[in-house]
Structure 1
Amino acid sequence: MEKAKEFVRHVLLVKFKAETAPDHVEQIIKDYSNLVNLVESLKSWHMAKDAKIINLHESFTHVFELTFEDAKGSAAYMVHPAHLEFHEKNWPHIEKAIAIEYKSTPFCT
């Protein structure tokens, strides 16, 4: 059996600060989504609003899921100038965040 590709996923739950205007939040999201065009190792970018942790009300407003081909790609993203610039510019608008990174593991029965 051929081995399945084991992508690295980076999931980020975010709560934007209340004083950050909705149109500014939308611009931050557009800028964030554009990183997929600027960072070669970032293979896909997805988001959703009103993120919830089941049975735990933490009031996160957005969830983002980034996919990398491998751990080296994720590491390259973390130090990429476009990511660092985005982070420095927009981190002041974040009230809280949780990041989870994992390598997808194929499961066969």
Structure 2
Amino acid sequence: MEEAKRVVKHVFLAKFKDDVTPERIEELIKDFANLVNLIPPMKSFHWGKDVSAENMHQGFTHVFESTFESTEGIAEYTAHPAHVEYATLFLSYLDKVIVIDYKPTIVKL
């Protein structure tokens, strides 16, 4: 697969503040998922909670993953008014954040 044609994954790890209720977290996640309907370069959205037995999560409890067709699509997403508004709100509920963008590589054995 050509380098330019590979999708880009946007991975967001989050640790919510201790006083954020599960109900509020659920609302925030629904609003995050709705961004895929508002921002064209965002092709998909998945999320989940840490279930690792290794206990190496360093306090991060939630993983959010979005798929984009290009790094330019992520730049468009980041600057989009719907994302800017949502991110400002969302970040106010978090203690810690890590964001990583990468192009998946398939290993041929």
TM-score, normalisation: structure 1: 0.87
Q: CA deviation at 1:107?
A: 4.2
Q: How far apart, in 1, do the equivalents of 2:93 and 2:35 lie?
A: 18
Q: How high is the sequence identity, in percent, across the aligned residues?
A: 45
Which residue does 2:86 correspond to in 1?
86
Which residue does 1:70 correspond to in 2?
70
Matches within 5 A, 1:48-67: 48-50=48-50, 52=52, 56-67=56-67
Q: How far apart, in 2, do the equivalents of 1:57 and 1:103 lie?
A: 22
Q: CA deviation at 1:22?
A: 1.0
* The 10-residue stretch of structure 1 (2-11 or 85-94) with the greater mean CA deviation from structure 2: 2-11
Which residue does 2:96 correspond to in 1?
96
Give aligned pairs, total: 108
Which residue does 2:6 correspond to in 1?
6
Matches within 5 A, 1:17-28: 17-28=17-28
1:13, 1:51 within 8 Å by CA — same for their partners in 2? no
Q: How far apart, in 2, do the equivalents of 1:51 and 1:7 lie?
A: 26
RMSD: 2.1
Q: CA deviation at 1:56?
A: 2.5
